Amino acid sequence: MSPPANANLSGDRPTFTSHLECSTTGKRYPADRLHGLSAAGKPLLVRYDLAALAQALSKETLAARPADMWRYREFLPVRQSENIVSLGEPMTPLVSLPICARALGVGEILVKDESRLPTGSFKARGLCLAVSMAKELGVSRMAMPTNGNAGAALAAYASRCGIEAYVFCPEDTPDVNVREIALQGAKVWKVNGLIHDCGKIVGEGKERMDWFDISTLKEPYRIEGKKTMGLELAEQLGWNVPDAIFYPTGGGTGLIGMWKAFAELEEIGWLDEERPNMVCVQASGCAPIVKAWQDGADHAELWPDAHTIAAGIRVPVALGDFMILAAVRESGGYAIAAPDSEIAAAQQEVATRDGLLMGPEGATTYAALRRAVGEGRVGRGDQVVLFNCGTSLKYPMPEVARFIDRHQPIDYDAIAAG
Ligand SMILES: *Cc1c(COP(=O)(O)O)cnc(C)c1O
């Protein structure tokens, strides 16, 4: 008999958080208290008693659970089941692109299709976790800057548990995102600036507004939610990793989270020391991490005049730049940018060849893969995973002008000619 659909959300599962740790100095902080950044102004990472976790959980137990994000409960920090705020976060499929793979000469291309999560993007993973922890730790008001998808996910989860949410978007954020955020109950403003300008409004308003800053990496738990992408991917591949992961990188939470997942899985003996090449993908109009990687730098500089159709990765400055760069280097990976023209072409190519409509950020990974193949960075037998992080349906698409007047004779010759 299969377990009830909500089995991962109820009952008493043991939890294993031991403490939090500064990503730069290693200084320890107690768990189960509200934290933003470390005293050094750097992101905090959640640490677990992994030896005890390994005793308590087996791969077989895990395999029998319902296929959602909360099957990984032991790897996550929420203590009390009643604090889990869930909209149903399914395990997302790995969709193969056989025709594209043949055309590019790559062994296998798998797309982790994150567009199927609540609010249509993988931001749901991070915000589901962060809002659940905020509820557990007694937060009643939160704020964040967003290019759209994070704000939508925050709005949805915060409304669901009665937390007040304030959201600030660049003024050219697609209207559908802004409206979606408002409709899901957050208070949303457009700002004449980019995401880091919006972030400043949140930071400087802290005292007056008494809100908790849930910006990317400014609290410890969004990473833990995004970490489930790495746990899921490894499990879906039979506790293996692919040869390369192409990740559309904005703030980098997902890349950092997956890197953390692989390390935790190795520590409990479920993965060996093999790692995928972590490939940081950005758009040419906003590629601070790519530039830092090329320059051999540990930190990235603010990217001036950032612009790209891939709005979700238009992030001129990332707090976790040093962690992204470290993961890319340690993995033997690389950082690569593609221009908007190639992103649009990639979107069309994947959709017309293999029937998968990727968002512009996801399509950026395919455009980058095409470049990487051209540069000889991908082997002919390689298994490559691309991340489609959000639904394309929130973005404007090319217009279709064809029209039929049904009161006139239908011109089937014209229809047949396409
Ligand atoms: C936020 C976002 C990204 C970037 O994710 P990070 O983990 O913050 O780098 C990529 N694609 C989409 C659709 C997004 O919303």
Express each pLDDT in 347-383 by its tens digit: 999 999 999 999 999 999 999 999 999 999 999 999 9
Q: Which residues pair with 246 in a beta bridge?
A: 279, 386
DSSP H stretches of helix in 14-114: 50-56, 59-63, 98-104
Q: What Rg do the C-alpha atoms of the chain give, in angstroms?
A: 21
DSSP string, 335-384: EEEE-HHHHHHHHHHHHHHH---B-HHHHHHHHHHHHHHHTT-S-TT-EE
Comparing CA positions, the residue from 241, 260, 270 lying closest to residue 385 is 241
Rounded (10°) CA dihedral 251, 335, 172, 357: -100
Write down the pLDDT at residue 9. 86
Which of 121, 255, 281 has the most ligand 1 atoms within 8 A of CB, as the residue to mutate? 121
- Cα–Cα distances in Å, from 97 out to 45, 263, 375? 35, 28, 21
Taking the centre of ligand 1 as the mean of its atom positions, its distance from the CA of residue 358, in whole angstroms, is 13
What pLDDT score does 86 carry?
A: 98
Rounded distance from Cα 256 to ligand 1 centre (Å):
12
Q: Please provide residue 48's backbone torsions phi and psi, each rounded to the nearest 5 degrees.
A: -125, 160
Could you give the CA distance from residue 147 to residue 212 in angstroms, rounded to a whole number?
Answer: 19
Of the candidates 402, 337, 390, the one whose C-alpha atom is nearest the C-alpha of residue 359 is: 390
Q: Is 176 exposed, middle or buried (0-12, 13-18, 19+ CB in 10 A)?
A: middle
Q: Tell me the C-alpha distance between 398 and 234, whole Å.
A: 36
Which position has the token pair 């690569």? 336
Of 9-23, 184-198, 399-413, the least confident: 9-23
Tens of pLDDT, residue by residue over 11-25, are 778 899 999 999 999
Q: How many CA atoms lie within 13 A of 36 on its CB side?
A: 17
At residue 7, the pLDDT reads 82
- Residue 14: the pLDDT is 86
Window from 5-14, 184-193, 254-263 with minimum mean pLDDT: 5-14
Segment 14-37 mean pLDDT: 96
pLDDT in tens, 200-253: 999 999 999 999 999 999 999 999 999 999 999 999 999 999 999 999 999 999
Q: Does residue 397 have a pLDDT over 90? A: no
Taking CA atoms only, the protein residue closest to ligand 1 atom 2 is 312
Report the percentage of the chain scoring pLDDT > 70: 100
Instruction: Summarize pLDDT for 331-342 with one digit per residue, the tens.
Output: 999 999 999 999
Question: Under 8 Å CB-to-CB from 220, ≥6 apart: which residues?
Answer: 20, 35, 43, 44, 45, 46
Query: In CATH, what class is 94-116+220-394?
Result: alpha beta
Q: Residue 242 gets which letter from DSSP?
A: -
Compute, in angstroms, the gap from residue 175 CA to the centroid of ligand 1: 18
**Cα–Cα distance measured from residue 328 to residue 314, given in angstroms and rounded to the nearest whole number:** 19
Rounded to the nearest whole angstrom, what is the distance from the C-alpha of residue 406 to the centroid of ligand 1? 44
Q: Would you put residue 72 in left (φ > 0), alpha (ψ -120 to 50) or beta?
A: alpha
Residue range 58-109, pLDDT digits in tens: 999 999 999 999 999 999 999 999 999 999 999 999 999 999 999 999 999 9
State residue 2's pLDDT score.
67
- Tell me the CB-side half-sphere exposure of residue 317, using CA atoms within 13 A: 13
How many CB atoms lie under 10 A from the CB of residue 332? 11
Bridge-based pairing of strands 141-145 and 164-170 is parallel
First to last CA, the chain: 51
Give the tens place of pLDDT for each residue, 128-155. 999 999 999 999 999 999 999 999 999 9
- 């548990």: which residue's tokens? 161
* 94-116+220-394 matches 123-213 in fold: yes
Is 90 exceeded by the pLDDT of residue 54?
Answer: yes
Distance 359 CA to ligand 1 centre (A): 11
- In angstroms, rounded to a whole number, what is the distance separating the alpha carbons of residues 140 and 210? 9
Q: pLDDT by residue (tens digit) across 249-296?
A: 999 999 999 999 999 999 999 999 999 999 999 999 999 999 999 999
Of 389, 392, 393, 394, best ligand 1 pocket probe by most atoms within 8 Å of the beta carbon: 389
Give the tens place of pLDDT for each residue, 310-339.
999 999 999 999 999 999 999 999 999 999
CATH number of the domain located at residue range(s) 123-213 in this protein: 3.40.50.1100
pLDDT for position 4: 74
Ranges of each domain in the chain: 17-83, 94-116+220-394, 123-213
Q: Which residues line ligand 1 (CB under 6 A)?
A: 121, 123, 149-150, 216, 248-254, 312-313, 359, 361, 389-390
Give the atom of ligand 1 at the shortest distance from the alpha carbon of 253: 7
Tokens of 57: 């959980």
Cα-to-centroid distance, 145 and ligand 1 (Å): 13
Q: C-alpha distances in angstroms, 92 versus 147, 274, 327, 328, 369?
A: 23, 23, 23, 24, 21
Q: What is the mean pLDDT of the chain?
A: 96
User: CA-CA distance, 225 to 122, in Å (whole number)?
Assistant: 9
Q: Using the mean position of ligand 1's atoms as its centre, give its distance from the Cα of residue 242 in Å.
A: 21
Q: Answer yes or no: is pLDDT of 1 > 70.
A: no
- Dihedrals phi, psi of 246, to nearest 5 degrees: -100, 115
Instruction: From 215, 287, 217, select the one nearest 253 (Cα to Cα).
Output: 217
